[in-house]
Amino acid sequence: MTVALVILAAGKGTRMQSDIPKVLHEVAGASLLAHTLKAGQSLQPSRTIIVAGHGAQEIEVASKAYDENCELILQTEQLGTGHAVEQTRATLAGFKGSVIVLYGDTPLISAKTLKRLNDSLVTSAVSVLGFQATDPGKYGRLITQGDKLDRIVEFKDASDEERSIKLCNSGVMGISAPLLFELLLQLDNKNAVGEYYLTDIVALATAQNATCTIVQCDESETLGVNSRVELAQAEHTFQTIRRAEALKIGVTMPAPETVHFSFDTIIGRDTVIEQNVVFGPGVTVENGARIRSFSHLEGAHISDGCIIGPYARLRPGAELAENVKIGNFVEVKASTLHENVKVNHLSYIGDANIGARTNIGAGTVTCNYDGAMKHQTKIGQDVFIGSNTMLVAPVKIGDGALTASGSVIVNDVPSGALALGRSKQVNKPGLAFKLMKKFKAIKVSKKGN
């Protein structure tokens, strides 16, 4: 069945105490809205419509950055969830498929759960995502007749008996488009808050003898973010789930509670991730790598057998082939390192291409930025770069070449050549003693004053 996603994202999020639209606050390196879009895209929707209000322009930019086919509709007045979905009527005119209504501030719903919800529409006119709440609080309650959903009652409108029910409404719903827009015409706002509830369409559908069902998920998936406290809870829950998934697929983590994943981190089996490692967005680690303690990775691809860290930083564009070693206090950015390259200590590699089996000595810097433009350093295979070499880009080092320690390399080095780019050393006998005596005398005189 063809699917259209409708994502409600018009809320201001007053409790966030922020100038940023609520749905653009981040969990695991991505906005709440991006998490919702990622889950929804698993259904391969033909349309993705975002209903925005506060911060609509920023939301449109963010949504199109994730998926350029997203469509944004402005809800100028926030009169309830039913009113929000009603804003899509013209856009979805003539659409005959199913509509999945999601919320831009609910980042933890899984693709598997959405598939079950969508699949249930084969036999049901309306399907609602529900959960058994540990503390039902102010959630809407799902009222059943036998194994069918009869209606949804919002907390403010519920009787004491209805409030005792622990089966609660997540707000996420699936329904055929023609039925949805037929029932939306019948909504009224005669309730405790004077809003048009989307949830009321369940009772309206039941009155027409349409089948309404509940698809249940774990309560953790339904967490909505309305405050900084809930944002932190969502982050904690995401990380807990992601760590468990990594362990399950064969990743070793001696202290998983100290590892921070991004929303899109990909880790291969038999990888070892030591304590206090942070993955920013866009990282893929293939099989059998080791990421040592206190390393930070973002926008990097790490191939089989690599060893990273401790205290390493990989920035966007770092492309590491098999068995590369990146040691302590090494930073790599926008560079390709081929098989068995070693950069073991205290070096910066930026805008570089380094050939197989090359060794980069401690303190090496690719001087890639002239204050206006970036330039590339190209290093061949089997090269030995001596410690404390400054490679002033653009520069090329040929296969099998060697640079002497402490060199400043400003010209290309041919294959097999030794490059010495340092000033001639001059020794002045006895001058050190004389200078130190003079400096100490000056220091004593300053204290006397």
**Fold equal for 3-222 and 228-419:** no
Cα(109)–Cα(39) distance, rounded to whole angstroms? 7
Report the DSSP beta bridge partners of residue 167: 132
Cα(350)–Cα(343) distance, rounded to whole angstroms? 12
pLDDT in tens, 165-220: 999 999 999 999 999 999 999 999 988 888 999 999 999 999 999 999 999 999 99
Q: Which of 54, 236, 301, 345 is catalytic?
A: 345
Burial (Cβ within 10 Å: 0-12, 13-18, ≥19) of residue 386: buried
Angle at which helices 111-120 and 32-41 pack, to 10 degrees? 50
Q: Is the pLDDT of residue 146 over 90?
A: no
Mean per-residue pLDDT, 84-92: 96
Report the DSSP beta bridge partners of residue 131: 168
Top CATH class, 3-222: alpha beta
User: 56 pLDDT band (50/70/90 cuts)?
Assistant: very high
Q: Is the pLDDT of residue 447 over 80?
A: no
Cα(174)–Cα(28) distance, rounded to whole angstroms? 27
Is 325 in contact with 303 (CB distance < 8 Å)? no
Query: What percent of the chain clears pLDDT 90, i.e. is strictly above it?
Result: 89
Cα(135)–Cα(114) distance, rounded to whole angstroms? 24
- What is the b/e burial string over 16-47, where b = at least 16 CB atoms within 10 angstroms of the residue's CB? beeeebbbbbbbbbbbbbbbbbbbbeebebeb
Strands 402-403 and 284-285: unpaired
H helices of 249-284, where?
A: none
**Please, which residues have CB within 8 angstroms of residue 185's CB and are 6 or more apart in sequence?**
none
Cα(271)–Cα(290) distance, rounded to whole angstroms? 6
Superfamily of domain covering 228-419:
Hexapeptide repeat proteins (2.160.10.10)
pLDDT in tens, 330-344: 999 999 999 999 999
User: 315 pLDDT band (50/70/90 cuts)?
Assistant: very high
pLDDT in tens, 344-367: 999 999 999 999 999 999 999 999
**Please, which residues have CB within 8 angstroms of residue 210's CB and are 6 or more apart in sequence?**
125, 126, 179
Main-chain dihedrals φ then ψ at residue 121, nearest 5 degrees: -75, -10
Mean per-residue pLDDT, 90-94: 95
User: What is residue 449's predicted lDDT score, i.e. its pLDDT?
Assistant: 65
Average predicted confidence (pLDDT) for the chain: 95
Q: Is the pLDDT of residue 78 over 90?
A: no
- Start-to-end C-alpha separation, the chain: 89
Residue extents of the structural domains in the chain: 3-222, 228-419
Does 301 qualify as catalytic in the annotation?
no
Token pair for residue 96? 């005959």
Is 341 in contact with 323 (CB distance < 8 Å)? no
pLDDT in tens, 39-49: 999 999 999 99
Is 361 in contact with 384 (CB distance < 8 Å)? yes
